[in-house]
Amino acid sequence: MRVLIVEDEKGLAAEIKEFLVKEEFNCDLALTGKEASDLIAINPYDFILLDIGLPDYNGLDLIKEAKRSNSEAYFIVITARGELEDKIKGFDLGADDYLAKPFSLLELLSRIQAITRRKFGHQSSIIQFGNFALDTIKKHLEFDNKAIDLTKKEYKLLSYLVLNKNRVLDRLQLTEHIWGEFYEDDYDSNYIDVHIKNIRKKLSEFDETNWIKTVRGIGYKFEIE
């Protein structure tokens, strides 16, 4: 998952980023509204963590702006303000959750995970397909309670495909959401295809179903009935 952290308190911003990176999120950081606006204009994000009280920007205006270019992004408003009016304005503009400072980083993670489950229509952190079970909290895959050895990148790629089941994802989308950045020099490389090949091989050792379909000329789709 790709996350944009918009927070002008440098210490807190760095703390949030360090925590989320350890949890395998790809994070960009903006200390001002202008920086956030520039990043939102060019990058797709799964989550935007947004402080309303920015020195150069009304954080609520950033939600409006981001909704135009990042229509699929989810917003968690992080602020020292506790007034009901601010919360209502934020929710009216499309914020998905609200955290008042100070807050626990574990609570932030829990909110992100809960929103992710709602976003992709899952009631549980464990996603079943066939006899496989993908645990999105523990970040591992099992088949009939037997753990399957995936590398970190293989897990991130597989879980993103599974969460977006029955949706075609192109290689650029996969690169940006899994690795966080896209470099022009990598566009013609086959590293996405290599990871897909390795994942398919590991799944096929337990189940011969072709879960990951190749969409020629575009990318891949994880197909579940």
Which CATH number fits the domain that encloses residue 85? 3.40.50.2300
Q: Quote the pLDDT of residue 63.
A: 86
Residues 107 and 27 in one domain: yes
Residues 132 and 216 in one domain: yes
Q: Quote the pLDDT of residue 82.
A: 61
Residues 90 and 154 in one domain: no
- Among residues 69, 102, 119, which one ends one of the domains? 119
Q: Quote the pLDDT of residue 185.
A: 45
Q: How confident is the model at residue 109 (pLDDT cuts 50, 70, 90)?
A: very high
Q: How confident is the model at residue 101 (pLDDT cuts 50, 70, 90)?
A: confident
Q: Rounded distance, CA 212 to CA 206, Å?
A: 15
Residues 163 and 209 in one domain: yes
Residues 79 and 51 sit within 8 Å (Cβ to Cβ): yes
Residues 94 and 9 in one domain: yes
Q: Quote the pLDDT of residue 148.
A: 95
Domain total of the chain: 2
Q: Quote the pLDDT of residue 189.
A: 56
Residues 109 and 164 in one domain: no
Average pLDDT over residues 168-186: 71
Residues 139 and 110 in one domain: no
- 214: domain CATH number? 1.10.10.10
- Among residues 86, 119, 152, which one ends one of the domains? 119
Taking CA atoms, 118 is separated from 37, 74, 96, 112, 124, in Å, by 26, 11, 11, 10, 9
- pTM here is 0.71
Q: At what angle do helices 33-42 and 59-69 cross, to 10 degrees?
A: 10
Residue 47: how many other CB atoms lie within 10 Å: 25
Q: How confident is the model at residue 213 (pLDDT cuts 50, 70, 90)?
A: very high
Average pLDDT over residues 86-100: 78
Average pLDDT over residues 86-97: 75
Residues 77 and 152 in one domain: no
User: 18 is written with which tokens?
Assistant: 């360090």
The answer to whether residue 126 scores a pLDDT higher than 70 is yes
Q: What percent of the chain has pLDDT over 70?
A: 90
Residues 115 and 134 in one domain: no
Q: Quote the pLDDT of residue 34.
A: 93
The answer to whether residue 86 scores a pLDDT higher than 80 is no
Residues 114 and 172 in one domain: no
- Among residues 92, 119, 146, which one ends one of the domains? 119
Residues 86 and 35 in one domain: yes
Q: What percent of the chain has pLDDT over 90?
A: 44
Q: Quote the pLDDT of residue 105.
A: 94
Q: Show the DSSP H helices in 43-132 as ranges.
A: 59-69, 84-93, 105-119
Q: Quote the pLDDT of residue 181.
A: 57
176, 153, 160: which is closest to 220 by C-alpha?
160
155, 132, 128, 154: which is closest to 143 by C-alpha?
132
Point out the least confidently predicted range of 18-22, 142-146, 151-155, 181-185: 181-185
pLDDT, averaged across the chain: 86
Domain of residue 154, residue span? 126-222
Q: Quote the pLDDT of residue 184.
A: 45
